[in-house]
Amino acid sequence: MKLMSSVASGKARPFQDLPGPRRFPFLGTINDIIHLGNPKTLHLTISKHHIKYGPLFKIQIGNVNAVFIKDPDMMRSVFAYEGKFPKHPLPEAWTYFNEKRKCKRGLFFMDDEEWLHYRKLLNQPLLRNTSWMIGPIKRVSDNTIKSLPHNAKHSDCKEKRFELHNVESVLYKWSIEVLLSVMLGSSYNEINAIKLNELVEQFSRTVYQIFMYSSKLMAVPPEIADRLQLDAWKQFERIVPESLAIANKIIDISIDDIERGDGLLSKLEDCIPSRDSIKRIFSDFIIAAGDTTAFATLWCLYLLAKNQAVQTMVRDETKHDFLESPLIRATVKESLRLFPIAPFIGRFLATDAIIGDYCIPKNTLALLSLYSAGRDEVNFYLPNEFLPQRWLRRDDKNQSIIPFNANASLPFAIGSRSCIGRRVALIQMQYLLSKILNEYRLTVLNDEEVDAELKLVTVPNKKVKLAFHKLQ
Ligand code: HEM
ipTM: 0.99
The pLDDT value given to residue 211: 81
List all residues 6 or more positions away from 127 whose beta carbon is below 8 Å from its beta carbon: 420, 422, 423
For ligand 1, residues with CB inside 6 Å are: 88, 107-108, 119, 285, 288-289, 292-293, 296, 341-342, 345-346, 411-413, 417-421, 424-425
The pLDDT value given to residue 472: 80
Higher pLDDT residue, 23 or 388?
388
The pLDDT value given to residue 151: 82
Atom of ligand 1 nearest to the CA of 345: 16
- For atom 21 of ligand 1, which residue has the closest CA? 419
Give the H/E segment covering residue 59: strand 56-61
The pLDDT value given to residue 433: 97
d(CA 137, CA 263): 11
Mean pLDDT of 399-408: 81
d(CA 239, CA 221): 19
* Rounded percentage of the chain residues whose pLDDT exceeds 70: 92
Dihedral pair phi/psi, residue 163, rounded to 5° = -110, 135
In 3D space, the residue among 101, 266, 256 whose CA is nearest the CA of residue 192 turns out to be 256
Give the HSE-up count for residue 123: Cα atoms under 13 Å, Cβ half-sphere. Answer: 10
Binding residue ranges? 419
Angle in degrees, CA 233, 235, 241, rounded to 5: 105
Dihedral pair phi/psi, residue 67, rounded to 5° = -125, 140
The pLDDT value given to residue 1: 40
The pLDDT value given to residue 201: 84
Higher pLDDT residue, 438 or 11?
438
What are the pLDDT digits (tens) for 213-240?
887 887 788 999 999 999 999 999 999 9
The pLDDT value given to residue 400: 67
What are the pLDDT digits (tens) for 281-291?
988 888 888 88
Mean pLDDT of 403-416: 93
119, 419, 428: residue to mutate for ligand 1 pocket, most atoms within 8 A of CB: 419
What are the pLDDT digits (tens) for 91-147?
888 899 999 999 888 999 999 999 999 999 999 999 998 999 999 999 999 999 999
- For atom 28 of ligand 1, which residue has the closest CA? 421
d(CA 245, CA 367): 34
The pLDDT value given to residue 278: 86
| Residue 405 in this model has a pLDDT that exceeds 60 | yes
| Residue 267 in this model has a pLDDT that exceeds 90 | no
What are the pLDDT digits (tens) for 249-264?
888 877 766 555 678 9
What are the pLDDT digits (tens) for 171-206?
988 998 999 889 888 777 666 667 777 888 888 888
What are the pLDDT digits (tens) for 299-322?
999 999 999 999 999 999 888 777
d(CA 346, CA 344): 6
What are the pLDDT digits (tens) for 320-378?
777 778 999 999 999 999 999 999 999 999 999 999 999 999 999 999 999 999 999 99
d(CA 86, CA 273): 26
The pLDDT value given to residue 189: 65
The pLDDT value given to residue 259: 59
Confidence of residue 4 (pLDDT cuts 50, 70, 90): very low
In 3D space, the residue among 61, 112, 46 whose CA is nearest the CA of residue 85 turns out to be 112
Pairing of strands 365-369, 64-69: parallel
Give the HSE-up count for residue 236: Cα atoms under 13 Å, Cβ half-sphere. Answer: 26
Confidence of residue 452 (pLDDT cuts 50, 70, 90): very high
Q: What share of the chain is helix, strand, coil (3-state, %, to 5)?
A: 60, 10, 30
Atom of ligand 1 nearest to the CA of 175: 27
Atom of ligand 1 nearest to the CA of 412: 10
Mean pLDDT across the chain: 89
Pairing of strands 353-355, 358-360: antiparallel
d(CA 436, CA 439): 5
Binding residue ranges for heme? 419
Q: Do domains 1-90+343-383 and 104-150+164-342+411-439 have the same CATH topology?
A: no
* DSSP annotation string for 97-165: HHHHTT----GGG--HHHHHHHHHHHHIIIIIS-GGGHHHHHHHHHHHHHHGGGG-SEEETTTTEEEES
286, 292, 347: residue to mutate for ligand 1 pocket, most atoms within 8 A of CB: 292
User: What CATH code would you report for 104-150+164-342+411-439?
Assistant: 1.10.630.10
Q: Compute the Cα dihedral for 118, 123, 129, 130 and give only its sign.
A: positive
Atom of ligand 1 nearest to the CA of 126: 30
Query: How many other C-beta atoms lie within 10 A of the C-beta of residue 339?
Result: 26
| Residue 3 in this model has a pLDDT that exceeds 50 | no
Confidence of residue 2 (pLDDT cuts 50, 70, 90): very low
CA of 10 to the centre of ligand 1 (A): 39
| Residue 8 in this model has a pLDDT that exceeds 60 | no
- Domain locations in the chain as residue ranges: 1-90+343-383, 104-150+164-342+411-439
User: What CATH code would you report for 1-90+343-383?
Assistant: 3.30.43.20
| Residue 410 in this model has a pLDDT that exceeds 70 | yes
CA of 413 to the centre of ligand 1 (A): 8
Do the Cβ atoms of 137 and 181 come closer than 8 Å? Answer: yes
Chain-centroid distance of CA 226 in Å reads 27
| Residue 10 in this model has a pLDDT that exceeds 80 | no
